């Protein structure tokens, strides 16, 4: 046993093999700008899915597809009735996206299984590298992981953000149906955990020169449509002091919201992603401005305080310009803490590998969220150059990709020992 410990501590992924696989995958749905275009069930995405199946089978892993279209490569456990430890990410991309987002996590998961398999290491779990369907939300968002964990609701399928027709047509192209999706659900008793390697999509690691980010929580996301309501008036004959100009409330709120978050909620973010002016003409004082507001926090009580602070601020700014105000709630995902046990396994692995690491929050949504309350889960980040993401210019140094894969490998070995 002691000999095996030494052996597994020294185990590393095969960087060259992983690099070859990464580049093969990056050539599928490749764009001229150097990224990939693989929206869910598009031609490029279907080709990438086909590649995954062949890669799994050629590696001697067991290929499996469930009713939600999730593709898996399985390394059966060395004990009977083994629980499943999932390692995964996604092969779909945003339109005109990058080569690393999602793909790196899938490639690393496959490489971890190959490394464990070829070294004949004992592992108590059934190990499964999984490519989740529609993480990015071309159709629904986190579709595959929500189906697997039982978090999918009928309403999400009936009114999907990508449009119902696109969902049904896309599923048909992948040989799936609305009914088949429900069969993807697995009993939570069968799951040992979920681990994911992903690019950071931010600048924190790069700026601090730290190699690995161990995620301690996925942020909660809340969104509102805020309406500042004044009065349409002739923009020539109405004196400035006689106007009820909706643009003033919307503008003032936009600036003040940023100030409040930066000063009072330094761990949170806020975004005014859109404003719609009514009637929206050069020569008419805006009667109404609808503001698309989104904000994120990693911690429940802070999230609630932020919600209260921003809505109070919007009301105050509206009244400052004698405007009416309405807030239309648009949705909320609670913050999702990562499991302590998985974070510990990642930290110990970084230390064993001599990699610098820090604990951080994930500002983006990820499939890990779907596993909240289902089984232990955790994520690690590797640095994104310039923080760029969802762009053809998305880039992570290969050395960092390999570091991430080795941390994933070592964490699996620690958990599955």
* Residues at the contact surface with a copy of itself, assessed by CB under 8 A: 200-204, 219, 221, 223, 233-242, 245, 247-248, 250-252, 254-255, 258, 261-262, 269-275, 277, 280-286, 292-294, 296, 330, 362-365, 387, 389-390
Q: Which is nearer to a copy of itself, 324 or 348 (CB)?
A: 324
CB of 316 to a copy of itself, least distance (A): 15
Q: Which is nearer to a copy of itself, 34 or 67 (CB)?
A: 34
Does residue 221 contact residue 363 with C-beta atoms inside 8 Å? no
Q: Which is nearer to a copy of itself, 20 or 255 (CB)?
A: 255
CB of 389 to a copy of itself, least distance (A): 6
CB of 9 to a copy of itself, least distance (A): 32
Q: Which is nearer to a copy of itself, 87 or 250 (CB)?
A: 250
Q: Which of 19, 45, 52 is nearest to 30 (CA)?
A: 45
CB of 219 to a copy of itself, least distance (A): 6
Q: Which is nearer to a copy of itself, 271 or 358 (CB)?
A: 271
CB of 321 to a copy of itself, least distance (A): 10
CB of 144 to a copy of itself, least distance (A): 20
Q: Which is nearer to a copy of itself, 14 or 31 (CB)?
A: 31
Q: Which is nearer to a copy of itself, 128 or 290 (CB)?
A: 290
Q: Which is nearer to a copy of itself, 94 or 355 (CB)?
A: 94
What is the SS3 assignment for the chain?
A: CHHHHHHHHCCCCCHHHHHHHHHHHHCCCECCCCCECCCCCCHHHHHHHHHHHHHHHHCCCEEEECCCCCEEEEECCCCCCCCEEEEEECCCCCCCECCCCCHHHHHHHHHHHHHHHHCCCCCCCEEEEEECCCCCCCCCCCHHHHHHHCCCCHHHHHCCCCCHHHHHHHHHHCCCCHHHHHHHCCCHHHEEEEEEEEECCCCHHHHHCCCEEEEEEECEEEEEEEEEECCCCECCCCCHHHCCCHHHHHHHHHHHHHHHHHHHCCCCEEEEEEEEEECCCCCECCCEEEEEEEEEECCHHHHHHHHHHHHHHHHHHHHHCCCEEEEEEEEEECCEECCHHHHHHHHHHHHHHCCCEEEEEECCCCHHHHHCCCCCEEEEEECCHHHCCCCCCCCCCHHHHHHHHHHHHHHHHHHCC
Q: Which is nearer to a copy of itself, 98 or 144 (CB)?
A: 98
CB of 198 to a copy of itself, least distance (A): 10
CB of 362 to a copy of itself, least distance (A): 7
According to DSSP, the β-strands at 288-297 and 269-278 are antiparallel
CB of 12 to a copy of itself, least distance (A): 29
Question: What phi and psi, each to the nearest 5 degrees, are found at residue 30?
Answer: -65, 145
What is the C-alpha separation between 98 and 256, in angstroms, rounded?
A: 34
């Amino acid at each position: 046993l002691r000999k095996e410990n030494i052996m597994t501590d020294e185990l590393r992924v095969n960087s060259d093999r992983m690099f070859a696989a990464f580049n093969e995958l990056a050539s599928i749905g490749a764009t001229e700008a150097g990224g990939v275009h693989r929206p869910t069930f598009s031609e490029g995405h279907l080709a990438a899915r086909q590649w995954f199946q062949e890669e799994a089978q050629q590696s001697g892993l067991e290929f499996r597809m469930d009713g939600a279209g999730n593709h898996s490569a399985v390394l059966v456990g060395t004990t009977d009735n083994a629980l499943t430890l999932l390692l995964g990410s996604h092969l779909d991309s945003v339109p005109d996206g990058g080569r690393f987002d999602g793909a790196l996590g899938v490639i690393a998961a496959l490489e971890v299984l190959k490394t464990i398999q070829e070294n004949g290491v004992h592992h108590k779990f059934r190990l499964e590298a999984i490519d989740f369907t529609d993480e990015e939300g071309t159709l629904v968002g986190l579709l595959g992981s929500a189906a697997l964990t039982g978090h999918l609701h009928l309403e999400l399928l009936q009114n999907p953000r990508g449009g119902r027709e696109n969902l049904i047509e896309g599923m048909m192209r992948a040989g799936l149906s609305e009914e088949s999706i429900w069969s993807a659900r697995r009993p939570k008793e069968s799951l040992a955990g979920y681990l994911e390697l992903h690019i950071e999509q931010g600048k924190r690691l790069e700026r601090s020169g730290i190699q690995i980010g161990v995620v301690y929580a996925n942020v909660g996301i809340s969104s509102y449509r805020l309406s500042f309501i004044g009065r349409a008036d002739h923009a020539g004959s109405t004196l400035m002091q006689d106007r009820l100009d909706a643009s003033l409330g919307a503008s003032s709120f936009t600036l003040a919201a940023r100030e409040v978050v930066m000063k009072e909620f330094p761990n949170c973010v806020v975004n005014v992603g859109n404003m719609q002016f009514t009637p929206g003409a050069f020569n008419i004082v805006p009667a109404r401005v609808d503001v698309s507001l989104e904000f994120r926090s990693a911690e429940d009580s802070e999230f609630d305080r932020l919600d209260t602070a921003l809505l109070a601020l919007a009301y105050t700014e509206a009244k400052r310009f004698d405007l009416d105000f309405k807030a239309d709630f648009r949705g909320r995902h609670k913050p999702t803490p990562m499991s302590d046990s998985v974070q510990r396994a990642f930290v110990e692995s970084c230390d064993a590998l001599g990699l610098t690491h820090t604990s951080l929050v994930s500002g983006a949504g990820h499939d890990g969220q779907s596993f909240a309350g289902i089984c232990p889960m955790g994520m690690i980040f590797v640095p994104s150059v310039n923080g760029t993401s969802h762009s053809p210019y998305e880039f992570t140094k290969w050395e960092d990709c390999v570091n991430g894969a080795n941390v994933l490998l070592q964490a699996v070995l620690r958990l599955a020992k």
